[in-house]
Amino acid sequence: MSHTTSGDGPRQSSLQAPLARVRGAGSAKQGTHHWWMQRVSSIALLPLTIWFIVSLATSAGMTHAEAVAWIGQPFNAVLLLALIALTFQHTASGLQVVIEDYTHNEWAKIALLLLNKGVCWLLGIAAALAVLRIAV
């Protein structure tokens, strides 16, 4: 193949077709989706988490009645549900990357990835159910 100096196309010095080059070089299913969702959830979690920490830190030693009243307020319940959903989305995707990077045995990795997803989903559902039971 001759190298062209005119035109906008990239220089190609290999006879291989572009498809043949990338074949077997790994998944191209979702691209940057996972990375991007981590940023999106992190931006949403910034105000939500600071609101939650400040709310709890300024009312330490709440009685049960006070805690139920606070969780039950619609404004707080909505923000809590958002916080729970985003926290476990962000936690699951963050721990997933840590597992992928440091687990070398393929089966152990798959088992840990599934365990991570399962635990995050169950904890998230349990927390959401608790908020809904109090607020609804």
Applying CB under 8 A, the residues found at the interface with other proteins are 11-14, 16, 21, 24-27, 39, 42-43, 46, 49-50, 53-54, 57-62, 64, 67-68, 71, 80, 87-88, 91, 94-95, 98, 100-102, 104, 106, 123, 126-127, 129-131, 133-134
CB neighbourhood size of 15 (10 A): 7
Burial classification of residue 118, based on how many CB atoms lie within 10 Å of its CB (0-12 exposed, 13-18 middle, 19 or more buried): exposed
Q: Which is nearer to other proteins, 9 or 24 (CB)?
A: 24
Residue 16 CB, shortest distance to other proteins, in Å, is 7
CA–CA distance, 130 with 68 (Å, rounded to integer)? 10
Residue 6 CB, shortest distance to other proteins, in Å, is 19
CA–CA distance, 85 with 134 (Å, rounded to integer)? 17
